Amino acid sequence: MEKNVLIYSNNNPQSLKLKEELITKIKATDIRIVDENEAPDFIISIGGDGTLLSAFHEFKHYVNSTRFIGIHTGHLGFYTDWQIFELDEVIEGIRQSKGESVSYPLLKVEMTLTDNSTKNDLALNEFSVRSFKGTMVCEVYIKEHFFETFRGDGICISTPTGSTGLNKALGGAVIHPRLDAIQLTEMASVNNRVYRTLSSSMIIPRDEWFVLHLTDEEDDRSISIDNMSFNHMPVKMIRLQLAAERIRFASFRHMHFWDRVENSFIGRKQGRLQGQPSGSMNYLK
């Protein structure tokens, strides 16, 4: 059965050169290259995690029918499984694929603006809102129930895969992507005898959601959805919950999640594996 692929890259010279090489190799096979107007079976991202995030947002209308493949031209990321010298293996994996995939949760972002209009989006990693002029004030609800009034620099709500990014830098927990949950982590909350927050990350399941009511001045506010930022957006309320949609990655080779975490933040396991005696236990397989 013919496979359709869409190729997306950043503007780095190495990425563009690799894209041309990949196109040449694919044209010698029975795989068909399509443009953005036709739904692909696979979206191949060439670059880094930021490039794959951009590809996801550019083509999220195909998220239910496509599988992503990441080829990295820099450091190994969380979403880029393949290296620049493995193009033939990528192509053969596509040709032999029978639909295998691994899926990750997405975050549904529903924003109500001050004129009562709405703006909806999906996030693969996280949503964040922060003040860049002073203390941000925000009422936090879990479902319909008021939880706390937050005062501080901002708030981050992450998916499990996004838990290793901004969320981790803020002291949040790393969550395995098989768990259908989202996490709220505070940025430098104000806690004294007058103001009080939980001052700890909160993890909630699929059937619950966070609602943020913003009470500070809108021109002080910066909103980010993954790698996209919006300043001065007139938002008064945001509802955040796991989306019905999920992103899928082709799984003819997909690195174990904890291998990604170890490789990104510790980096010692590979040396230990190289020094293992024959027959000893492999890690995280």
Q: Tell me how many degrees the CA angle 272-277-281 measures, rounded to the nearest 5.
A: 70
Annotated binding residue 36: no
- How far is Cα of residue 232 from the mean position of the Cα atoms in its chain? 24
Annotated binding residue 206: no
Query: Does any domain span residue 251?
Result: no
Annotated binding residue 125: yes
Annotated binding residue 49: yes
Q: Are residues 229 and 112 in the same domain?
A: yes
Q: What pLDDT is stored for residue 80 in this prediction? A: 86
Q: Are residues 35 and 114 in the same domain?
A: no
- The pLDDT tens digits of the residues spanning 225-261 come to 999 999 988 999 999 999 999 999 998 876 778 888 8
Query: Does any domain span residue 199?
Result: yes
Q: What pLDDT is stored for residue 237 in this prediction? A: 96
Is the full-model pTM beyond 0.75? Answer: yes
Catalytic residue list contains 49: yes
Q: Which of 99, 129, 159 is the last residue of a domain?
A: 99
Instruction: Reply yes or no on whether the pLDDT at 83 is more than 70.
Output: yes
Instruction: Reply yes or no on whether the pLDDT at 120 is more than 90.
Output: yes
Residues 201-219, mean pLDDT to the nearest whole number: 90
Is residue 5 exposed (0-12), middle (13-18) or buried (19+ Cβ within 10 Å)?
A: buried
Q: Are residues 123 and 223 in the same domain?
A: yes
Annotated binding residue 50: yes
Write out the two tokens for 78.
């969380």
Closest residue by Cα to residue 169 from 201, 198, 192, 196 = 201
What is the CATH number for 76?
3.40.50.10330
Annotated binding residue 188: yes
Annotated binding residue 32: no
Residues 10-19, mean pLDDT to the nearest whole number: 96
Q: Are residues 39 and 68 in the same domain?
A: yes
Q: Are residues 52 and 161 in the same domain?
A: no
How far apart, in Å, are the Cα atoms of 158 and each of 45, 209, 226, 246, 282? 22, 12, 9, 14, 31
Q: How many domains does the chain have?
A: 2
Q: Name the DSSP class of 150.
A: E
Query: Does any domain span residue 165?
Result: yes
Q: What are phi and psi of 272, to 5 degrees?
A: -65, -40
* Calpha distance 8→58 (Å, rounded): 10
Query: Does any domain span residue 260?
Result: no
**Would you list the DSSP string of 188-216?**
S---SSS-----S-EEEETT--EEEEE-S
Instruction: Reply yes or no on whether the pLDDT at 271 is more than 80.
Output: no
What is the CATH number for 154?
2.60.200.30
Q: Are residues 74 and 140 in the same domain?
A: no
Q: Are residues 74 and 142 in the same domain?
A: no
Range of the domain at 140: 105-244
- The pLDDT tens digits of the residues spanning 135-165 come to 899 999 999 999 999 999 999 999 999 999 9
Q: Are residues 231 and 114 in the same domain?
A: yes
Per the residue annotation, which of 35, 41, 49, 115 is the catalytic one? 49
